[in-house]
Amino acid sequence: MKTAKFILIPFCVFAVAFSGCSIKLGPDPVTSFERAEAGLVRMGEVTETMTGTWAQLPGRYGFKSALLDALKKPEVAPLFEGGASNLIMDISLTSDHEDDGARLTGLGALSLITIGIIPLSYHSEWNVSCKLTLKNSEGNQVAVYNLNEKGTYDIQTYPITIFAFWGAWASGESDGKEIFKRVAANLADKIVRTLQKDSRALASQGGMGGAAPAGSFSSLQKNTII
């Protein structure tokens, strides 16, 4: 018995010391937000539809809350301080994700079967589309934009993988929150950059004054950003 313990303890220490994993989160964080032009639009309704097996889980949550937080950032918030004559912007999110539970369980089982000696990798993603619909004070639609962002979570584990997966699992919740924050921040920055690119045309449609450039109104109706 003493001999077994003598062998087991160094083995466990070796396994923990030399196993490991690398984790990469996406998208890259926004390092410098575009500073918003004050009062270009007013915030309207924000809705979200979740799809994929993720949407079927009890207690699941989407990107709406994270996006609303990102839109309150000091660099972004002035965009939505418009008055009654400004355009109203509705935001419709659609977020798609496949539940990670079954796939992670399968990888864990594979790790046990292979005694943790084969490196394993894991990839997960959240695809988020963001439709911006701008309406004038009479409720008429004057512009539509379609923005997209993707959140990704990549794990590469090294032997002994069972210990590496345990480490990744321990940080999974905080990593997930960081991915949501990054996706929301990137979308918020895209919203500011997209609307400010067409600020003159939007201002003319919202009654802020100034003539819209020729042809700008029709281009607003079909503007799509990837």
- The pLDDT assigned to 171 comes to 81
Give the whole-angstrom CA distance, residue 223 versus residue 145. 5
| 3 within domain boundaries | no
111-165 residue pLDDT tens: 888 888 889 899 999 999 999 999 998 899 999 999 999 999 998 988 888 777 7
Partner residues linked to 46 by β-bridges = 91
Confidence of residue 13 (pLDDT cuts 50, 70, 90): very low
| 6 within domain boundaries | no
Q: Using N-to-C axis directions, what is the helix angle for 199-206 and 172-197, rounded to 10°?
A: 70
The percent of residues in the chain predicted with pLDDT above 70, rounded, is: 81
- The pLDDT assigned to 18 comes to 41
| 115 within domain boundaries | yes
- Name the token pair of 226: 């990837």
- The pLDDT assigned to 100 comes to 84
Give the whole-angstrom CA distance, residue 5 versus residue 82. 71
Q: How many domains does the chain have?
A: 1
| 139 within domain boundaries | yes
- Name the token pair of 126: 């959240």
- The pLDDT assigned to 223 comes to 58
Model confidence pTM above 0.75: yes
- Mean pLDDT across 31-36: 92
| 1 within domain boundaries | no
59-109 residue pLDDT tens: 888 999 999 999 999 999 999 998 878 999 999 999 999 988 888 788 878
Whether residue 18 contacts residue 61, with contact meaning beta carbons closer than 8 Å, is answered with no
- The pLDDT assigned to 211 comes to 36
| 126 within domain boundaries | yes
Structure-model confidence comparison of residues 208 and 54, the more confident one: 54
> Is pLDDT at 199 greater than 70 in this prediction?
yes
90: containing domain: 20-224
Q: What is the CATH number of the domain that holds 63?
A: 3.30.160
